Structure 1
Amino acid sequence: MLLRLLLFVLMLTPAGALSQSRAEVETQFRAWLETTVWPRARARAVSRATFDRAFASTRLDWSLPDLRPPGSDADVPTLQRQSEFGAPARYFRRGALDGATSVGRQMARRHAAALTRAERATGVPGRIILAIWGRESGYGRAAIPHDAFRTLGTLGFMGRRAAYFTDELIAALQIAQAGHAPSAAMKTSAAGALGQPQFMPSSFMKYAADGNGDGHADIWRSEADTIASIANYLARHGWVSGRDWGFEVTVPASVSCAREGPDRGRPIAEWEALGIRRVSGRPFPGHERAGEGYLLMPAGRHGPAFLVTPNFYVLKDYNMSDLYALFVGHVGDRIAFGSGDFDAPWGAVGRMTRSDIATIQRALERMGLDTGGIDGLPGFRTRRAIGRWQENTGRRATCFPTPSMAAALK
């Protein structure tokens, strides 16, 4: 009877739920390193000595998210919770702004020579380099605790994006082979991003720079190399020397918030002709008026508005978030010019989950409005679609999701 019961349970149990022991998976991981990673590394001129140093005592990191062991269709269990949408105001907390600004000013004085060299070489202002450095690693003060080879090896072996992380692991081995830093110093985030600028290994290979002239790009221990690397990244992504990142503005009611977006650019002088003004009351700089500008309203009518330049979207290349790029530009201005808070406050928009926003996006897509995808994030296309729907239905256009909107569109 017991045997029959066991066979019955096994028949009802999904195959992926019968997981191997961790010891068995660790054995497969070591085999994978030898049969898959080592041949690829050797083909990229990585020596056996470098390979062995990197993985001498490496074991899988089971604490990382989104792991799926071989032969299983189930993820390693992690704590799950309903994901709440982070309203824009949260990104600009007082402590984060003041800390990034005050330490940034100290770093501006301490590393003035390296910042000047980087700005002369690339055209990227030192204040922007500092703001990114501060955001990514607290000017090198934030803990970056993960071993690069353990993290990337784990994600390459049993992460959801295994092929991508295997490529990144090979790049990390090339970095170690080149001697930019000892293997033990090559620390990453839980997502595999390296050092103080938080470059993925493939980005390191393309953009890391030697800022102190020692022949290496040590973005873990060298502030000069970190500064030079951030500047080189932005320059290689198209930073336009001489142009600012953007300006806080007032947008009159006659200008629809649905005009927002990088695909709706026009000369700043034309935006000015529509009634858009700098909140400072000063005119737009003459050399900026002829250049293209883009309306940015990250909280719709519930927060500050901006005219941004192509350089804003270069900042987004570093981290694909409007709020990230805005934080960097704003902190850079605070460091260099003593700028205060944005003139317009961030309005309260109510507590929402990403699933609420996804509900709104689905409804708008059914109406033929482009939201840029159903991801639970109110990017510019979603904000613009909301504005179009509001205008089409006789509502006041705010171009931002609210809890009541989610209920109305269900």
Structure 2
Amino acid sequence: MRGWLAPLFLAALCGLSSPALAADKAAVERQFHGWLEKDLWPKAQDEGVPRRVFDAAFAGVRLNWKLPDLVQPGEKPPKQRRQTQAEFSTPAPYFKEDRLAQTAAKGRALNAGNADLLARIEKTYGVPGRIVLALWGRETGYGAVSGSYSAFEVLGTKAFMSTRKDLFETELLAALRIVAKGDVSPGSMKSSWAGAMGQPQFMPSSFLVYAVDFDGDGRRDIWNSVPDALASIANYLAQKGWQRGRDWGFEAQIPDTVSCAQEGPDLARPIADWARTGITRVSGRPFPAEELRSDGMMLVPAGRFGPEFIVTPNFYVLKAYNNSDLYALYVGNLADRIAYGSGAFQGRWGNVGHMLRSDVQAMQEALVRLGHDVGKVDGLAGYKTRRSIGRWQEAHGMASTCFPSKDLRIR
């Protein structure tokens, strides 16, 4: 190593700054405060934020250099590298049984202790208490881990020098409006490192739309008020389209004679129609009579290599909270454990794939060339990719698995 580089290298390893690096950071810090005054304040003023609120929000706020995805002023964002890490090993670790069982046990205790509150929430918003509890448990461990960062530090840093400055500037202005409305003081507005706030983990723009004052104290306090936090979760789901009186879905057994390439919310059919194809619930119980007349959708998140489901539109409302099949399944399973004492899905998650995202993306590109709609060509096997694989397999006389694998050569 060249002698003049050694001090900088050792400083980086030790988390220290050389005088030059410290000077650079000090200069950027000055630019940040100049940006707050010259660029952000006029926008905040246009949105009705009082000057006293603006000053209080940024009193003592400095850039947080430890946050990810930062780009200093004058620098170009790093080029996105082609994704190559393994993405498609078994989903089983996502549903780690010990953790799920513990979370469900705490959820059952909270369900009993908050029965009246949850009943009032369900009456108001139509969302069952078990679903609200499951989301609360998944997001913040029932409020135990809701974020310890200053929201204005996080959002200010990211709005000034992240790879998504426009998005975070919008959220920063929303945070200022929240304080201006009197719901929370600047010092009490805590968030995650990504800016998600309180027990429901709302971004500020979501808070403005979905947070509610359910305890009647005149403030929407999703940080400290359990009634406000839980009702806000329910209000979010209700506004996203939760269908009152319906479940989220059912683990199912799909016979080999029924194609797995019928998956997706755009291929909804009455659940009675799915039942007539021979699809049954793995529990052995029939589909509820009130569900048979309503639409359901096939879901095979690991193709034929994992649990299979018939889900309702409410499953996709859960995905609005976090756009992941596994996330929504986790919440649904946790909710069932809380309410009914049920356990893990009966279907086993196969040790599937071990595919690189770049390889899956190449498979998607081949399917697109053949005329298939795979959704976004991003190396992630969403439902359109899964069913396109199944359709290609069927067209070539193969047993459809509806999931990418190393030995599958699509051309």
Same fold (TM over 0.5): yes
Give the TM-score taking structure 1 as reference length. 0.91
Inter-partner Cα distance in structure 2 for 1:331 and 1:185: 30
Tell me which of 254, 259, 274 is aligned to 2:277: 274
1:328-407 to 2 correspondences below 5 Å: 328-405=331-408
Give 2:291's aligned residue: 288
Q: Which residue of 1 aligns with 2:219?
A: 216
Shift of the 100–207 alpha-carbon distance from structure 1 to 2, 3 Å rule, reads same
State the AA in 2 paired with 1:354.
Answer: R
Where does residue 17 of structure 2 map in the other structure? none
- Partners in 1 of 2:151 and 2:354 — Cα distance? 37
Which residue is 1:7 aligned to? none
CA–CA distance in 1 between the matches of 2:146 and 2:207? 19
Of 55, 59, 62, which residue of structure 2 is paired with 1:56? 59
Q: Normalising by structure 2, what TM-score?
A: 0.90
Q: Distance in 2 between matches of 1:82 and 1:260?
A: 27
SS in 2 for 1:303: coil
Aligned-residue offset at 1:89: 1.7
Q: Structure 1 residue 182: deviation in Å?
A: 2.1
User: How has the CA–CA distance of structure 1 residues 356 and 190 changed in structure 2, closer, same or farther, with 3 Å as cutoff?
Assistant: farther
Kept in 1: contact 2:303–2:403 (CA 8 A): yes
User: In structure 2, the residue corresponding to 1:397 is in which secondary structure?
Assistant: coil
Of structures 1 and 2, the one with the larger relative CO (CA 8 A, separation 6+) is: 2
Superposition deviation, residue 180 in structure 1: 1.4
Could you say which residue in structure 2 is the equivalent of 1:161? 164
CA distance in 1, matches of 2:334, 2:356: 28
How far, CA to CA, are the matches of 1:150 and 1:82 in structure 2? 33
Cα distance between partner residues in 1 of 2:72 and 2:240: 37
Residue deviations 1:228-260, cap 9 Å, x none? 100110111111111111111110111111100
Report SS of the residue matched to 2:298. Answer: strand
Partners of 2:142 and 2:79 lie apart in 1 by 34
Q: Which residue number corresponds to residue 124 of structure 1?
A: 127
Shift in Å, 1:76 = 11
Q: Which of 279, 298, 303 lines up with 2:301 in the alignment?
A: 298
Deviation at 1:356, TM superposition (A): 2.6
- Out of 309, 314, 325, which is 1:311 matched to? 314
User: Which amino acid counterpart does residue 294 of structure 1 have in structure 2?
Assistant: M
Closer, same or farther: CA 145–404 of 1 in aligned 2, 3 Å: farther
Distance 1:180 1:114 in 2: 21
Please say if residues 146 and 201 of structure 2, whose CA atoms lie closer than 8 Å, have aligned partners that are also in contact. Answer: no
CA shift in 2, pair 1:164/1:266, >3 Å: same
Query: Could you tell me which residue of structure 2 aligns to residue 229 of structure 1?
Result: 232
Indicate the larger mover: 25-34 or 295-304. 25-34
| Counterpart code for 1:360 | M
User: What's the CA shift for 1:74?
Assistant: 4.1
User: 2:156, 2:406 → 1: CA distance?
Assistant: 42
Q: Secondary structure at the match of 1:28?
A: helix
1:263 equivalent in alignment to 2:262: no
Query: Mean alpha-carbon deviation: is it higher for 105-114 or for 129-138?
Result: 105-114
Find the counterpart in structure 1 of residue 249 from structure 2.
Answer: 246
Aligned counterparts, 1:11-26, within 5 A = 21-26=24-29
2:180 paired with 1:177: yes
The residue that corresponds to 1:324 in the other structure is 327
Q: Pick the aligned partner of 1:83 from 85, 91, 98.
A: 85
In structure 1, runs of 5+ residues without a counterpart are 1-18
Partner of 1:8: none
Give the C-alpha shift of residue 112 in structure 1. Answer: 2.2
Letter in 1 for 2:396: T
Q: Which of 141, 144, 148 is equivalent to 2:144? A: 141
Q: Deviations over 1:172-211 (max 9, x none)?
A: 0111122212212211122211111011111100000112
Determine helix, strand or coil for the equivalent of 2:372: coil
| Cα distance between partner residues in 2 of 1:157 and 1:83 | 30
Deviations for 1:92-141, whole angstroms, at most 9, x for unmatched residues? 11133112201111221232232121111011000000000011111111
Write the distance in 1 (CA, Å) between the matches of 2:400 and 2:410.
16
Q: 2:45 aligns with which of 42, 47, 57?
A: 42
Give the whole-Å Cα distance in 1 for the aligned partners of 2:83 and 2:392.
31
1:9 aligns to what? none
Which whole-Å deviations, capped at 9, do the CAs of 1:358-396 have from their partners, x for residues lacking one?
222222222221111122211101111111121122221
- Given that residues 114 and 228 in structure 1 are in contact (C-alpha distance below 8 angstroms), is that contact kept between their aligned partners in structure 2? no
Report the Cα distance in structure 2 between the residues aligned to 1:409 and 1:152, rounded to whole angstroms: 44
Task: Compute the displacement of 1:160 (Å).
Answer: 1.6
Shift in CA distance, 85/280, structure 1 to aligned 2, threshold 3 Å: same
1:258-283 Cα deviation digits (max 9, x unpaired) = 10000000101111111111112221
Please say which of residues 93-102 and 198-207 is displaced more in the overlay. Answer: 93-102
Match of 2:276, as an amino acid? A
